[in-house]
Structure 1
Amino acid sequence: MTPASSTADEFGFDVPLDRAGLSTAKWEMEIARTQDPTLLCFGTAEMDYRAAPPIRAALERVAGAGHFGYPFKRASYYEAVVGYFDRHFGWKIEKDWIASNVGIYPSMQPLIEELTEPGDEILYQPPVHHIFPEVIQAAGRVALANPLVERRGRYEIDFDDLSWKVTERTRMLLLCSPHNPVGRVWTRAELDRLSAFCLERGILVLSDEVYCGLIFDGVAFTPFANVSAAASRNSVTLTSASKSFNVTGLKHSLVIAEDEGLRGAYMRGLKRNNLYFGGCVFGQAAAEAAFRDCDAWTKAAVRHIEGNFRYLEQFLRIHLPELSVTSPEGTYFAWINVKSLDLATEQLRDVLEKEAHVAVTYGAFLGEGGDGHIRLNLATARSNLSEGLCRIAAAIRTHIPHSNQPGS
């Protein structure tokens, strides 16, 4: 099976990066961990793409100025943020609603500590990033799992489980929208039902929307706060340019809340670690350029990722029909069901890392519903993906001998 050519790849998405000058958690750290220079890496959640030209130009301007002090957010920064969410989602936010942090997960901590009490329950919806329950538990709260349910190959929110699981101590829900790792983009109807459920029971929603820029063709993304006026007042949106524009290392995120009381609680919480002052001058510049000037780059990136998913889907159908993959509606992940291999996680790791020389994310570490799955990052050159899949198929054939031989 030969790699299909990428369409309109004006940004070089199909050109593998020269790693000689790079030092990343996704590749170099994994290679150092395994001591395997041949390893192909599809794990950590970032793209193998060079950032968009306007972002690189913005960073070059900052570097060229030669001054790296505490940054100030000019009017152009707020105009870029407000314009992006209005242009793409019809969500009309105001400058005063916008605060910042160094990342999505660090922004959860002050909100949890200010708006709940030790021993309170906070909902999360696995399989989801392991940081969700970790942040909750580290704050002395109870992590209350509301696992997603899979129906006919599509993941959904389990409202029946919510109804019987919530107690008088349930104070908050951490929503992942779009959802990592299963790739669901929740519909307006689903979010409206969730909002009504939470409003009726006094549950505040923290909505992690960091993948909102990576929405597949024909799919509509609705910010949770844009579902209704009531949803806006009962939620805080946590987002960033980091995932959609591949600037994860620049450490700048947004915290958006209409309700003045929620914003005040967030700012109070920041005083514990002084994160209310300063910030990353490069991250701020990158965010402004991303939200204002990079629509074409993101559109092309999503097109490339969708093409990679179609390639993976066809490859599995021909060469590994024992495995199945959920059809994503957004993000850059393939969520692959490998239960038919009947391998424990450590056995599966041995097969993929030691035999296939491929690194992925193992679903067992993403909570209930993740066991027997792997998350494979599709935001890479097609040649990397093709080689990785051929390696995986060759290794799996030793455990399922009747799997088909992958072509060259």
Structure 2
Amino acid sequence: MYDFDEVLDRTQLSTSKWESEIFRTGNKNLLCFGTADMDFKSSPAIIDALQSVVDKGHFGYPYKRDSYYDAIIGYLDRHFSWKISKEMIANSVSIYPSFQGIIEGLTEEGDEIIFNSPVHHIFKEVVTANKRVAVESPLKLVDGEYQLDFNHIKASITPKTSMYILCNPHNPMGRIWNQDDLIQLVDLCAENNIIILSDEVYAGLIYPGESFTPLASLSEKAAMNSITCISASKSFNVTGIKHSLVISENPEFISVYKEQLKKNNEYYGESIFGHHATEAAFSNSDEWSNELMEYINGNFNFLKEYLKTNLPDVGIFQPQSTYFAWLDFNYLGLSDNDLVNLFEKEAEIIVTHGYVLGEGGSGFIRWNLGCPRSVLKMGLERLKTAIENKK
């Protein structure tokens, strides 16, 4: 029903993912599989909702209607059996800005904050910029599957550890942490008075046959010792709209977070487009989302078969979520700089390189599958040619 094969007219677009990279490199021939956006139009329900706002022609400070909250509450219950209330919901302009208020409000300067690498480089950047100590606990790779290394996590905890930032589903490899992992993490953090900040922004991008459990939905212990960040941004391709949700059953956590918003008046006004896009995404875009993930799954299978046939030494990891493929190119024996040159200069492809994502990322790349299959095929063919030319 939805045309994910459509290649958009880039002369009508201006994006960080494509146009910014073309400007940076001066190469109009680039194919871009880096930045975490999709090359698809958003769901028709969202487009219609935004067009309705434009047609009314009034763009003043918005008011959140009951339907806005009903959409969020209904989506989380419908998809994840996570039952929340309006009082548990706060906002930000996007996921990472909300980290600042959470970190500043619930930890002290000099505190240690644990997270698992490789992960988006902003995790470390935000922690250190807020004058806290970033502590990487690398994921371990067992039989081709990434796992939380609880021995390393336990060894990383000190009296200064006050927060654990969980990425679930995990960016870059699309791993969903199972309920046993989450329960063990909740118990460990509760025993050590460590608050869990759970980044669940990719929760709407679940592969067919997989399931996702929000950490806070596990138990009262989990709910009262965590604060969750979600958004329609990644799942419905509305990252430019700048609206996100901060959710916690612990009234103190929400109160402290809202108090932090007073530092820049972020609690007032917000984005009228963010409100309407969020409501439309969570209330009336399920069918689009389901078809999207069928297409992403098809893209991954296409990539897997292409690499198996043409570049069989590339390591491939089966994602459970997101629109990323996490690929291991260490067999080439290249330095990270040489790997960047192989992709960007020789193959004329932009990807996200693993070395910037922390320990365990060197020699890996994150390939964005949120694109028409014809573009994916062109990128893979360029990569194949570039690698063959190095032999």
1:86 has 2:77 as partner: yes
1:371 has 2:359 as partner: no
Q: CA deviation at 1:347?
A: 1.0
Q: In 1, Cα distance between the equivalents of 2:322 and 2:29? A: 27
Matches within 5 A, 1:2-401: 10-399=1-390, 401=391
**Aligned partner letter, 2:175:** R
After superposition, give the CA deviation of every residue in 1:330-387 in whole Å (9 maximum; x if it has no partner). Answer: 0000000000111112211111111111100000000000101000000100000000
After superposition, give the CA deviation of every residue in 1:60-106 in whole Å (9 maximum; x if it has no partner). Answer: 01011111111110000000000000000000000110111000000
SS of aligned partner of 1:26? coil
Q: In 1, Cα distance between the equivalents of 2:190 and 2:207? A: 30
Q: In 2, Cα distance between the equivalents of 1:167 and 1:138? A: 21
TM-score by length of 2: 0.99
TM-score by length of 1: 0.95
After superposition, give the CA deviation of every residue in 1:231-269 in whole Å (9 maximum; x if it has no partner). Answer: 001000100000000000000000001111000110111
**Aligned partner letter, 1:163:** K
Q: In 1, Cα distance between the equivalents of 2:123 and 2:223? A: 22
Q: In 2, Cα distance between the equivalents of 1:376 and 1:147? A: 21
After superposition, give the CA deviation of every residue in 1:90-135 in whole Å (9 maximum; x if it has no partner). Answer: 0000011011100000001011111111110001111000000111
**Aligned partner letter, 1:167:** T
SS of aligned partner of 2:319? coil
**Aligned partner letter, 1:154:** E
Instruction: Provide the aligned length of Structure 1 versus Structure 2.
Output: 391
Q: In 1, Cα distance between the equivalents of 2:342 and 2:173? A: 23
Q: In 2, Cα distance between the equivalents of 1:315 and 1:197? A: 42
Q: In 2, Cα distance between the equivalents of 1:218 and 1:173? A: 29
TM-align CA RMSD = 0.7
**Aligned partner letter, 1:364:** Y
Identify unmatched segments of 5+ residues in structure 1.
1-9, 402-408
- Spell out structure 1 runs of 4+ moving beyond 4 A: none
Taking every aligned residue pair, what percent have the same amino acid on both sides? 50
Q: CA deviation at 1:20?
A: 1.4
Contact 2:339 2:363 in 1 (8 A): no
After superposition, give the CA deviation of every residue in 1:259-294 in whole Å (9 maximum; x if it has no partner). Answer: 110001101111111101111111110000000000
Q: In 1, Cα distance between the equivalents of 2:37 and 2:170? A: 15
Contact 1:97 1:257 in 2 (8 A): yes
Contact 1:316 1:324 in 2 (8 A): no
**Aligned partner letter, 2:310:** H
Identify unmatched segments of 5+ residues in structure 2.
none
Q: In 1, Cα distance between the equivalents of 2:223 and 2:249? A: 6
Contact 1:59 1:282 in 2 (8 A): yes
SS of aligned partner of 2:229? strand
Q: CA deviation at 1:227?
A: 1.1
The equivalent residue for 1:405 is none
Q: CA deviation at 1:163?
A: 1.2
**Aligned partner letter, 1:164:** A
Q: In 2, Cα distance between the equivalents of 1:234 and 1:227? A: 11
Q: In 2, Cα distance between the equivalents of 1:192 and 1:306? A: 29
Contact 2:167 2:200 in 1 (8 A): yes
